[in-house]
Structure formats: C-alpha cells, structure tokens
Amino acid sequence: MNAAVAKLRELEAPAEAHSLMRLAGLIERLELKEGYEGEHTARVSALAVAIAAELGLSGADCRRIELGALLHDVGKLRVPDRVLTKRGHLDESEWATIRSHAALGERLLIHVLDLPEVLAIVRSHHERWDGHGYPDGSEGEDIPLAARVVAVADAFQAMTEPRPYRKPRTRAAALREIVSQAGRQFDPACVEALRAAV
C-alpha cells in the first residue's frame, strides 16, 4: 500500500477508504509523470522527518510533516509534461505554470484530506524566509514551520537529483548552496537542522 495511505492511518486522519485510495492514486500518478523524479517525494519525506527531529518536534508533528512531504508536489499533476521536461530555460508563462503547482496541490487535496497542517505544507513549501516565494509571498515565521522544514528538504533533494536541464550536484555542494541561502530563502534554524541531519 502507498506510503501516504500508511501515514494517514498512523495519524488516524478523518478520511474514508475512497479518499485514501484517491490519495494513493494521486501520488502514484505523480511518481510516474514524465519529467518527475519518481523517488523524489519519498526522499524529501525522509529528510524532512530527520530535520523535524533535529528541531525537536513531536512525533505527531513529524508524522504530519512526513505526509505533507509525500504530498508536496501533487499539484505538478496539473503541469504539462512539456514544461516539466523542457531542457532549456523556461519563459515567464512556463514559470507561472510551474509556480501554480503549490496552490493547485492544495486545491486537489482540500476535499480529500482534513489535515490543515498537511494542506499548509502543500501550499506553502515554496514560500521564502525573505518573502519572495509563492504563492502568497509569506515571510519568516508567518510561513508554517512544517512548510519551512519541507522547503529545505525539497531544495536539498532537488539539487542532488538529475533534472532534464542540469546534472545533479554533490551533497556537499547542495548543502553549501542551502547554507548560503539561510536567512534569505530558508529559515536559518531549518538549515542548521539540515546540516545536523546530513
């Protein structure tokens, strides 16, 4: 059974069996989508839990972060493959399409999942500490902590995985880049927790 469904059962989430199957289907479709790194969500989820543990978050918070990380990119199901697999630079319209995935993901899940903290991760995982993220331009501690944790885990994993438009970075190079963005793109406390986790 899909890892997201298992996490929902652990959380005793108020979701019916058909909702659980729908979630499982969404994640399965995402992992098979052309241009999407199939194991990305599982790796982000494991790293996000490690970061959350370094921050001293509760077991229940860690489980919600684990599930939110598994679901964080589900809005990319609505992004055309030609945009996800494009090798060259994206134009402004294509960037807007990519940036829409966070809000689209929340919309896909809002009637299936009654876990506001998880929905906040899906919506806010591309917000930036300095307020220049999307979709809402939230900044600092106005961004839910769980979303800040997933943002760091997601960025680290994305940098170390191959993409159609670039080769993967080493773990050391990815960590240096994230450390350089502490206090700008990322919550400094989450960056320090990442350093300890990796």
Domains of the chain: 3-197 (1.10.3210.10)
Half-sphere exposure of 145 (CA within 13 A, CB side): 14
DSSP secondary structure string, 68-101?
HHHHTTGGGGGS-HHHHT--S---HHHHHHHHTH
Q: What is the pLDDT of residue 84?
A: 85
61-103 residue pLDDT tens: 999 999 999 999 999 999 998 998 888 888 999 999 999 999 9
Residue 73 backbone class (left: φ over 0; alpha: ψ -120 to 50; beta: rest):
alpha
User: Model confidence over 103-113: pLDDT tens digits?
Assistant: 999 999 998 88
pLDDT score of 1: 47
What pLDDT score was predicted for residue 101? 96
Ramachandran sector of residue 35 (left: φ over 0; alpha: ψ -120 to 50; beta: rest): left
Q: Which neighbouring-strand residues pair with 166?
A: 163
pLDDT (0 to 100) of residue 32: 81
pLDDT at residue 68, rounded to an integer: 93
Q: What is the pLDDT of residue 163?
A: 73
Full-model pTM: 0.90
8 Å CB contact between 33 and 76: yes
**Residue ranges for the chain with pLDDT beneath 50:** 1
Closest CA to 61 of 104, 23, 118: 118
CB count within 10 Å of CB 109 equals 23
